[in-house]
Each structure stands twice: as C-alpha cells, then as structure tokens.
Amino acid sequence: MACLNIQHIMQKIDEIKLLLSDDNSTNILGLTETFLSDEIEDKELTINCFDTKRKDRKHKKGGGILIYISESINYLRRYDLEHDNIEAI
C-alpha cells in the first residue's frame, strides 16, 4: 500500500493515473489532503482497474481522503464504522 499527502489531488491526477497504470505492484493507494468537494465528480478521478473511494471534508476547506483499490481485491467499505468528524475510511 502506498500513501501520499497532496495539497489538492487535481494538480497531480495525471501523475497518479500514470503511476497506477504503469505499476502492477500497487493494489491500494491512499491519498490525504485531497481538497476535493462536490464540484469534482467521481468520473474525473476514475482509473482503469481500480475502485475509487473518497470522503471529502464537508464543513470546511481542505482535508479529505481518496483511496484507489485494485478491482482484484474483494473488500467491503464499512460505512457503519465511519463518523462525520473523523477523516477515515
């Protein structure tokens, strides 16, 4: 699993797409400080062969989490364990 801290992911989305399309060893990529909001649609973040899971900060600017998970991994997102005041997926 890789983890990156990026001040607004949209500045780096092309690099991230290239990294994940070229690197067959990455199955999960976690990103923090994505600075995403409802203005950015999921389709803008899509990468072939990866599921995209995001949790944007709702009540103030900044923060946010984005995770890319290889479609080859079986998983279940546990919304029941998530809380609005904690940036965790």
Count CB neighbours of 67 within 10 A.
Answer: 20
Task: Note whether 70 and 50 are within 8 A (CB).
Answer: yes
- Edge-to-edge strand ranges of the sheet holding 2-5: 2-5, 28-32, 65-70, 50-55
Record the pTM.
Answer: 0.83
User: What span, in angstroms and rounded, lies between the C-alpha atoms of 79 and 43?
Assistant: 21
- Residue 66 confidence (pLDDT): 94
Enumerate the domain spans of the chain: 2-81
- Per-residue pLDDT reduced to its tens digit, 30-70: 998 898 988 899 999 999 999 999 999 887 777 899 999 99
**Gap between the terminal Cα atoms of the chain:** 15
**Which one-letter DSSP state was computed for residue 88?**
-
Higher pLDDT, 1 or 25: 25
